[in-house]
């Protein structure tokens, strides 16, 4: 099928690249002409594992192209994926102006009927507004636009893997023909009948993806409800961690045992510095706003947000307690990205930690495998070290802020010889307190003694 993708951010590029790998002919566009020029020159403007490989293969097969002319992209595809940003407004409400702009462009530029698919995360009932905008701005009253919602459940860092091996594909539609078109788009993935470039065509057997056909409102709600529930799980684990500290229990033991109950599940129960990134904080706010706008009290989500905001303060309390005076101290910050395997620093808890440390007069020495270039632009006063051992050299404390495997596997025997003081404050519970103390470190983490 010929598919158009509008918006070449994380979601749009992964969607475009993976659908091209699945055998479709894809044309991508973006309002950022620079980004399009980079893509046309074969450069990938974002770091996402495997994305460069998939884009290169799609390009070689002639199945992906880029244009800065949105009209060309719109006219070319039978189905159009909208993958533009929906950032939060000051109030927390999602800013849908980019979706509105795209709707108007589609209405004005299309010459044939189109299936318009929302991929961006949007509040429930956006599909209805999209449908209205398409009809209102269309120059040809005979032209029909069908709208569908197909939320993405991709995690940054594993987005390509997630796209090829989804748990569920949710399609919110108004009619059977839209559902049939979306099934056709995803058929190669559902049937695993394409050459998966990640596994050289032989994907390991896994659970079959559920293909769920719902109403548009339900599909939109599924996305916000899923992200908010995961955020809630993390905040729940964080409150359990606080309780463990007061009572004298171990949060890892508690959450592990909880997670063995399949009704609860073990994932997203890691206590620590809390969640960041461009999805959870924003989606949580948008969902709270949506519920309030229809008079539904979603207080548990407000509590989820409140608990998460307190995590930085809880971490800094530990830093103060351990270091006493922060001013003038050499503080090594291990990890800047909002989570491992990404260069994304948007709403990263680590950045808030760095900001507070600098404000207090600490000398911050940071290390992160991917996120240093972006952080440098925000915090030029920090010294940056490719090698984490260099960041630890002469440090009065090591603060672990992101759960990179590189840090999980550090040789602390070696590190302790480099540090001025053997002090670790672990914001991600990466190490065993017993082992670290055995090595001679003063060690603090979340929810453990």
Residue 280 interacts with ligand UGA (CB under 6 A): yes or no: yes
Q: Which of 123, 166, 272, 369 binds ligand UGA (CB under 6 A)?
A: 272
Q: Of these residues, 8, 18, 244, 279, which one is catalytic? A: 279
Residue 236 interacts with ligand UGA (CB under 6 A): yes or no: no
DSSP assignment letter at 279: S
Task: Say if residue 236 is exposed, middle or buried (CB neighbours under 10 Å; 0-12, 13-18, 19+).
Answer: buried
Residue 156 interacts with ligand UGA (CB under 6 A): yes or no: yes
With residue 26 as reference, give the H or E element that holds it. Answer: strand 25-29
Residue 214 corresponds to which tokens in the numbers above? 């719902």
Residue 152 interacts with ligand UGA (CB under 6 A): yes or no: yes
- Which of these segments, 73-81, 193-201, 277-285, 321-329, binds ligand UGA (CB under 6 A)? 277-285
Residue 268 interacts with ligand UGA (CB under 6 A): yes or no: yes
Residue 121 interacts with ligand UGA (CB under 6 A): yes or no: yes
Does the annotation count 83 as an active-site position?
A: no
Residue 211 interacts with ligand UGA (CB under 6 A): yes or no: no
Residue 276 interacts with ligand UGA (CB under 6 A): yes or no: yes
Q: How far is CA 362 from the centre of its chain?
A: 30
Residue 304 interacts with ligand UGA (CB under 6 A): yes or no: no
Residue 431 interacts with ligand UGA (CB under 6 A): yes or no: no
Q: Which of 15, 67, 86, 227 binds ligand UGA (CB under 6 A)?
A: 227
Give the dihedral sign, CA 88/92/95/96.
positive
Minimal distance, residue 281 CB to ligand UGA, in Å: 9
| Polymer length of the chain | 449
In a 3-state reduction of DSSP, which class is residue 204? coil
Q: How many CA atoms lie within 13 A of 383 on its CB side?
A: 16
Asked if residue 427 lies in contact with residue 399, where contact means CB atoms within 8 angstroms, the answer is yes
How far apart are alpha carbons 186 and 177 in whole angstroms? 14
- Which of these segments, 22-30, 182-190, 212-220, 279-287, binds ligand UGA (CB under 6 A)? 279-287
Q: Which is nearer to ligand UGA, 107 or 279 (CB)?
A: 279
Minimal distance, residue 203 CB to ligand UGA, in Å: 20
Binding mask 80-119 for ligand UGA (x = CB under 6 A): ----------------------------------------
Residue 407 corresponds to which tokens in the numbers above? 């840090």
Residues 317-346 that bind ligand UGA (CB under 6 A): 338-339
Residue 368 interacts with ligand UGA (CB under 6 A): yes or no: no
Q: Which of 274, 335, 388, 427 binds ligand UGA (CB under 6 A)?
A: 274
Residue ranges in 165-215 assigned as alpha helix (H) = 176-190
Q: Which is nearer to ligand UGA, 66 or 338 (CB)?
A: 338
Asked if residue 65 lies in contact with residue 71, where contact means CB atoms within 8 angstroms, the answer is no
Strand partners, 149: 118, 172
Residue 200 corresponds to which tokens in the numbers above? 């050289």
Q: Which of 189, 234, 351, 398 binds ligand UGA (CB under 6 A)?
A: 234
Q: Which is nearer to ligand UGA, 137 or 153 (CB)?
A: 153
Q: Which of 279, 372, 397, 423 binds ligand UGA (CB under 6 A)?
A: 279
DSSP assignment letter at 445: -
Return the C-alpha torsion angle 354, 321, 431, 381, nearest 10: 20
How far apart are alpha carbons 64 and 54 in whole angstroms? 10
Which residues of 258-373 form beta strands (DSSP E)?
Answer: 330-334, 363-367
Number of residues that bind ligand UGA (CB under 6 A): 22
Closest CA to 221 of 165, 157, 286: 286
How far apart are alpha carbons 410 and 73 in whole angstroms? 48
Residues lying near ligand UGA in the complex (CB under 6 A) are found at 121, 152-156, 227, 230, 234, 268-270, 272, 274-277, 279-280, 283, 338-339
Residues forming the active site = 279
């Amino acid at each position: 099928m010929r598919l158009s993708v509008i918006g070449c951010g994380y979601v749009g590029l992964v969607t475009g690249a993976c659908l091209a790998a699945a055998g479709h002919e894809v044309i991508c566009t973006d309002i950022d002409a620079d980004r399009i020029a980079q893509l046309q020159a074969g450069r990938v403007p974002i770091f996402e594992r495997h994305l460069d490989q998939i884009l290169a293969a799609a390009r070689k097969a002639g199945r992906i192209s880029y244009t800065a002319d949105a009209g060309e992209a719109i006219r070319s595809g039978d189905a159009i994926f909208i993958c533009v940003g929906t950032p939060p407004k000051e109030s927390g409400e999602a800013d849908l102006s980019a979706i509105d702009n795209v709707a108007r462009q589609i209405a004005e530029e299309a010459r044939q009927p189109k299936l318009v698919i929302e991929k961006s995360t949007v509040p429930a009932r956006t599909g209805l507004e999209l449908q209205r905008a398409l009809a209102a701005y269309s120059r040809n009253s005979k032209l029909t636009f069908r709208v569908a919602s197909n939320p993405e459940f991709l995690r940054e860092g594993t987005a390509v893997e997630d796209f090829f091996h989804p748990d569920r594909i949710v399609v919110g539609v108004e009619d059977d023909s839209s559902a049939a078109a979306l099934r056709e788009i995803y058929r190669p993935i559902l049937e695993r009948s394409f050459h998966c470039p990640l596994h050289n065509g032989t994907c390991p057997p896994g659970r079959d993806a559920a293909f769920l056909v719902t109403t548009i409102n339900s599909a939109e709600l599924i996305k916000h409800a899923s992200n908010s529930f995961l955020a809630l799980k993390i905040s729940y684990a964080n409150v359990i961690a606080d309780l463990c500290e007061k009572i004298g229990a171990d949060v890892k033991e508690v959450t592990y045992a909880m997670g063995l109950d399949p009704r609860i599940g073990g994932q997203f129960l890691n206590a620590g510095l809390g969640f960041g990134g461009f999805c959870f904080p924003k989606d949580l706010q948008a969902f709270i706003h949506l519920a309030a706008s229809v008079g539904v009290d979603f207080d548990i989500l407000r509590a989820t947000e409140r608990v998460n905001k307190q995590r930085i303060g809880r971490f800094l309390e530990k830093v103060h307690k351990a270091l006493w005076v922060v001013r003038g101290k050499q503080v090594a910050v291990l990890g800047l990205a909002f989570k491992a395997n990404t260069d994304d620093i948007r709403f990263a808890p680590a950045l808030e930690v760095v900001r507070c440390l600098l404000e207090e007069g600490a000398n911050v020495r940071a290390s992160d495998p991917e996120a240093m270039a972006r952080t440098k632009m925000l915090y030029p006063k920090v010294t940056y070290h490719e090698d984490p051992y260099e960041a630890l050299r002469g440090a009065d404390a090591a603060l672990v802020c992101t759960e990179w495997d590189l840090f999980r596997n550090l040789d602390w025997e070696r590190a302790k010889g480099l540090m001025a003081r053997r002090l670790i404050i672990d914001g991600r519970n990466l190490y065993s307190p017993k082992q670290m103390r055995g090595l001679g470190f003063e060690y603090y983490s979340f929810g453990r003694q």
